[in-house]
Amino acid sequence: MRAIVVEKPGGLEKLQLRKLPAPELGPGEVLIEVAYASCNWSDIQKRQGIYPDTVSYPVILGGEVSGHVAAKGRGVRGFKTGDKVAAIAGPRCVGGFAERVVVPTDYVIGLPDEFPLDLGAAFPMVSLTAYHLTRSAYHVRKGEFVLVHAIGGAVGLMLTQMLKGFGAKVIGTVGGPGKGDRALAFGADRVVDRSREDFVEAARDFSGGKGIDLVIDSLGADILERSFDTLRTYGHIINIGEAAGYPDFPIRPKLYERSTSLAGFEVLHARPGSARWRRGVKFVVDGLASGRLKLPIEAIFPLEQCVDLQRRLEQRGVSGKLLLEIGGVSRTA
């Protein structure tokens, strides 16, 4: 099979298209013939060697895929050969940039017949992250004020739709002009361009001086530190990444200013296969299938152009998802 392999961490030149043996199928696993794979910021971090968790090299990148079940291992129930599926590529979230991938059953999501395969690869991490941020890590209530940094990205757009559906009032930030247009179209109440406006002052004004109930931060750096200044008493921040740089400030004094709190987040802590996980899967699949939720796909690249895809993602400004087309099938097949 063909696959994108990174032998050692480094620049874009480390992305190598190779021919490899197909992965071996074990008990409780499903072999997927991959149609599409999604590229995430974590794939860039793994290629660069800066991913927070340990990565064993050489590695096949790719954390989420769509396609059809090619075979199933001993003890697998609920799937049959030929089923249309999406999947997160197991607990290590690697292996998806390949023509075939083996995935533990709990990480596989059955798709309705009419569900587009390109959307199938695009939605799992983004949509389930947004769901569990707003329903597991924190339970958003009607009327709460929520600040979402990088609201124009794929996670931000999905958060916007879910938060508005739950009755929250949503303000977001972006790094430059025009980057928040799609978030506004998806229902955000206010978008702040951080290059032109102080987001702390804007958030305080947006909440009528009450302060923000929840901040969802994927940027880190000094943006995380300043986000504490937007919070109400007992307000809460969830940090989900450090795209702007690693934060470096004394955290304890910020927590005590208004008895606020800070949490980290990892979507797989919702435990794939659990009742909580299944509720999230049903919510997002039903929402996307019905059109109640939307997830834009910015561009689709052939497997051979993985370098071009990652270069585009590194340039920022992508509002939606970038995919690799691997199986040469129609988007709805």
Q: Which pLDDT score is estimated for 210?
A: 97
Averaged pLDDT, groups of 10, the chain, 333 residues long:
97 97 96 97 94 93 97 95 97 96 98 97 98 98 98 96 98 94 97 97 98 97 97 98 90 97 97 98 98 96 96 86 84 57
DSSP state of 98: B
Q: Which pLDDT score is estimated for 332?
A: 57
The pTM score is: 0.95
Distances (CA, A) of 148 to 183, 192, 251: 10, 10, 20
